[in-house]
Structure 1
Amino acid sequence: MASDATYETVYPALKGPQKVAALLLVMGKPLASRLLGHFDAGELKVITRAAAQLGSVPIEVLEELVEEFASEFSNGAELSGNVDRAENLLAGVLPPDQVADIMSEVRGASNGSIWQKIAALPAPVLTDYLAKQHPQVAALALSKLGANVAASIMELLPRERRNEVTRRLLVLAPVADAALRVIETRINQDLILNPPAPPGAQTARMAEIINKMAPEHVEDVLQALAAERPEDAEALRAKLFSFDDLIGLPQKSRQALFEKVASDKIVVALSGKDPEFIANVLSSLTARARRLVENELAGAGAAPTRDVAAARRLITDTLLAMAERGEVELREVVD
């Protein structure tokens, strides 16, 4: 028997799902079938994927893994885990459609469902991904998608890349199953199992954070960013919204916003604003709320700076939450 140092340097230690997969494969189908019935669908997918990728496991590793059964392996061959054995492990235990669903993910969904999932992704996401791939891979992927989806992607591809992909599509030959499976597995991992963030997602997330910051800090961040990355700063600025931007908000949106804000908060938020801004806000209130706010403003002195900032932040946060839910538009929609 090889020493521990010998086989451990050649074969890495098995992890949790790999240990389970190895034990199930060694047990054989009758006993393994009884055990598999105790796993849920998510666990079955993890175990099946581990079994399919297990490869050859040295007998020494198996002996260490299942000491109580060492005698059963001491004269046997090394264990080999692959896709076919993983599928055979599930057959007869689960319904055929569930086996097919699990194996489609393990194989990279070469039965076609992977392309249905890909086709459902936003065209900009697909375009950004395929633009970074070899033109032959992009052509193959487009050939597997529906005409409408492929057309949307082609329209968004850079001109030179579009022309190159078109030429390859015209002469695309059938692809060997093994090669197709490799490509499908990679695309499945990149787009389905580990989906990329949509274009602009990082900018939107940063805007969400900056919108919560005090105005003086916001401007400092934008100026620093503009010095290094002016285009990113401009894109970020376009997504920001402050209390002062209320004056440019569509009237319908302002009305919907102030229906959700208490009158006393409006009064505090308007403290120190110029007459034009106040009139703009008042025009968005109901008649009753307007009279109440006007009376409060007439008799109110300057509110504490902290209270003013908190009231304005409350109104802005309320608006941004409504916009995220699709209840209001932050800017006029141009038909």
Structure 2
Amino acid sequence: MTTQPLTLTRPQKAAAILVAMGKVSAGRLLKFFKQEELKNLIEAARLLRTIPQADLERIVAEFEAEFTEGAGLLDSADKMDSILNESLSPEEVSAIMNGKQPEASPDGPPPIWPELEKLDPARLGAFLAGEHAQTSAMVLSKLAPQASAAVLLTLEKPLRSEIIKRMVTMATVPEAAEKLVTDQLRARVLAETSVKDTSAGQARVASLLNELDKPQLDEMMKDLEEAGTPDLEAVKARIFSFDDIPLLTQKARVSIFDGLSSEVVTLALRGAAPDLAEAVLSAIGARSRRMIESELGQPADGIPAAEIARARKLVAATTIRLAREGVFELPSAQPSADAA
């Protein structure tokens, strides 16, 4: 006697496949469903009981998926409830089943995102590095592009790629889920920052000082030391000028000049001291070095001093960025014996 196949609605079929996938995989997928779709899935799953193996295989084939295991599904409603409870917060589940979005308190705190954009990117990056990539993607998608990019650059490349991938495919985040994340950010990032973290101020001062020429910078640092400026060592660790190139290790210099054009390097070396020029040229390939030395052998008449200064600041800015990414340390942050 041939058993008639089950007749299931599309939501029931989708619920069956999610249950077959297991809690971990299904939990990841649930984050991408719209609220109405989640409600339909929950309601469909609660009507499911035992699904014979043959019917499960037929459903899977319709969705063009591959399953290596299949023992029939028992108590699908209970399993779907378990998946939902482990993947979504009680507020999200309640909001979905009540058919409405969670309401935000009109007297609640102001948006958190402008405050996060003011933080040192490395500080926010350190926090997000310990969070799930999906959470990090949600946070960065809320920030201004410039701030988001600055934070991404502080993260390890594999994590950075995973977060960007999730940002591309991210759907609308339920308000309840967003509130849970922002509450944690207020408690664990902003609250601590307001009391202890002065890195943002250090970064601002270092950025200002990095705009000065070497003589002006040395004079300013001397004045700050005499005035007993707090956290001055932390500020020094963020300062770098083109004249400090010889203090870097050979490996660090190679990293810097590998990404700069020969035109920028040639401009930056115009009028440079011999030891500074050698520190730069020794970090460049033989062919490029010959080209640059040939250019430097030509008269520098007509080249504005402002262009030379601009090229040197570009080299310094590249150095600071690479140090911030952890490629190497600036000379003020490493023992002098490390310098080559």
Same-fold call, TM cutoff 0.5: no
- State the structure with bigger RCO (CA 8 A, min sep 6), 1 or 2: 2
TM-score (norm 2): 0.40
**Greater Cα radius of gyration, structure 1 or 2:** 1
